[in-house]
Structure 1
């Protein structure tokens, strides 16, 4: 497997485009994007578990009942959630994109992100779609168009080999606030030219969501619009993968790589974030226990605030583990903090150690830090990703709508 450039346009047969349609007040950024395959795709998707679901998500679920699609229309700046005429406007967006592309509206998926409860200006979208120019060079343009409070584009792509055939898988994502399991946490769009059965693709996507996107937490909120869509057009012309086995394992490894990379980018770009925080629990009795404990640490506002201050307050780590609901023996736990500067142990067998506060401060002042809790109770481990909690998070969300 090799990482390459190109994101969602890296795979054979995929192109993208984006324009400023007028949804967002600022005219300095595109707010409407199209992702298109030159041929029909086998598709899979996962969606937010929030009971309040945006109309674009519901329309996409309807259109994916046959697991087939060929294009995605995405807007930022307006979530079209809990909004007047939401369903009708999501359908109209699909119809407008389909008319522009010469497709059946059923083969167009739709996604929106932005402010909840505001009516979508669908007339602006319909007017802007014909001006979208599709190109394999437009990945970065498309990745920028779907951003809201994000500060940077999230893009990755890889090549891999299936039966001596080179295949490509790429993706883009957005997500900065309202980030928490279970799937959603963001919008993510993945494209591949690998030929793979839609039902198998769905199985692999669900499985990998559990260990990537569902292990990210920025602020404990799960959005109404979150979804991840994978489109596979088969234009690499490999023998189609239809069952789990050696070839599906190769594909799943590539899928995991792309999804984990995007998950980390989302965590690192959390609203107001100053640093990426990786929480790893090792030597647990089982993976579920390790994941539950790691996510509890990662989601703790007190832990996140301590990371903002580069404060080696390891007691907050144990506290978060203690209310996670997972069974473990606190008397065997050790805690370490790590970054590119080094590693420092601050707790052993559930008790504090005398440690170098200056070194700990330096370790925790880096752009990426890791909290490692060793249970000494088994062999399983899991990592979750988040970010520090800063003053800017409150500033951003204090007037997000106005």
Structure 2
């Protein structure tokens, strides 16, 4: 038997106070996802792309003094980046258009610390435009990361001046590319004790990119899972109380819908390209483990794959992305059987005894998240065997189990509020699940 209650994470775990939550729901109704939040959750997997002046110096962070003349990705090909994202199985891609060093990847009018003063394309290139054009061509959802912390900009110490500066940068990005963005990624690093003008920032985000979810800061639509290991906490609730997240403003009632995004660099502890650490490239099994322990716990997963100094994703990184994507598609695209239902019990019947080693559950979240505990049993009458016991289901729950032959599977659930709605209850079999289960347990 797999007991998810024994796998509870410590990172950013929050328990739901059932008495308080029910009282809140009775007064305000169940928190539910907005259409854009639900659409984002359905994407499940994204590709993070860290690229900038740090790429050319084997650095993760720099202080804003690196010479723009060193930025020269002579073979830059954003179509290759997005082809890699498609190989990975990602449905959205997020590009760091300005990291903490302040170097801008677009033709900005706000600063000379940008591609305009680099030799790349004689200073006339625009990485953001090429990235968005590549996303449009491939049908990939595009997101942008714009660091609030800016270690180069001289006006940064002047709060009001920098707020204006940042708003101008953001406005250029939100309006300059004739694109509907999916995610706006605001990084809190380096900003402890600094209060940006989030009211203005969020206002222009909502005005110019109403379909984009906002990550982590201001008035966020989605939250960080709490680590850079690609693992989400468990149990995982989408409903967050304002006291548990600094971005939930007092104007919001107690609980709000705020799903989690886990992130991880495909090279251990390295977000930007580093010329000397190909050895740190994660094996496919490690990425599959992260997928099971993030997407398979109800979160999204944002995997970082960084282009090199030539402007291309290195071949070794791309090979891992391709293998991961093809493996995950082979594992999950053809369930052995599938059922659904709006009830506290859903049954999956097989025509013949069937060998399985993976159970997958999707909760219908359009009316809220309801399952607080579940178990899956095989057999019937007095011969039931518990195969899985867990807590939350949420957007997707994946459990790897020892190989077992079943004729009937029964999903039994306890609900925190109302009747559970199960979008799908499925079983799979593949020897790879057994190998992956041993890898995770080790």
- TM-score normalised by structure 1 residue count: 0.30
**Is the strand fraction higher in 1 or 2?**
1
- TM-score normalised by structure 2 residue count: 0.28
Relative contact order: is structure 1 or structure 2 higher (C-alpha 8 Å, sep ≥ 6)? 2
